[in-house]
Amino acid sequence: MEGRNKIKELFRNKKIVTGAHVRTQDPCMSELIANIGYDIVWVENEHSFLDKCNTNLHVLAAQAGGAAAVVRVAWNDPVLVKPVLEMGVDGIIFPLISSAEDARKAVASCLYPPQGVRGFGPIRANRYGLIPTEEYLKSANDDLFKILQIEHVDGVRDIDRILEVPGVDAIVVGQNDLSGSMGKLGMIEDPQVQEMMRTVFEACKRHGIPGGISCGPSARELDMWFEFGINFVFMPNEFEWVRTGAVNALDMIKTYERRIEG
């Protein structure tokens, strides 16, 4: 909310925009990610236990820490999008966009009439009314960054038409569900799956729209994604960070234990 077009400014000024996911109820996680220096906090509403109150607290914490806050809604539905917009988010991530019609529906849910179908009740989006309505409406439609997720073969096949929809700001590939739609769930390095992903990123380049990915902190994986030409990357959520750190720490202790026993 602080600073108009925050994410668009990031893409203008940085070669690679960085983000990380949050799924737990504790907004301190968003504050920590922001303070570490990630550009964007992805607040997860599709695969998490977060309610509206939790989500709002994450948005406040991320923005207070200096990061942009985006929320992935559970479905491409204006009813789910509306209350999230009123939280003053910097952007929305829409899952499972498989056609230009899906893309138009997603964009319309973020825009006030006549361009879209968003109902008026901005709450935090206009600083609780401290921004006069006339001033707020001048830039409200342009301020929301709309990220569409391609995670089905149908979306890949219609990618050029999707990218031609006015108001689409970025594309993120959901590699696991995309591979699943091909009958190859989790087989990210399968040549056919990679060809599908490459098709999406090449289309993004042609249309001048950023394309990105969510992945783990693996140099091998990152090499692959950067070779594909991504513009942004989201790192894992708290569960994965804790699991990775805890497993590594336990392995170190077990190593010492084996030395003592030996």
Could you list the active site residues? 47
How does 77-113 read in b/e, with b if 16+ C-beta sit within 10 Å?
ebebbbebbbbbbbbbbbbbbbbbebbbbbbbbbbbe
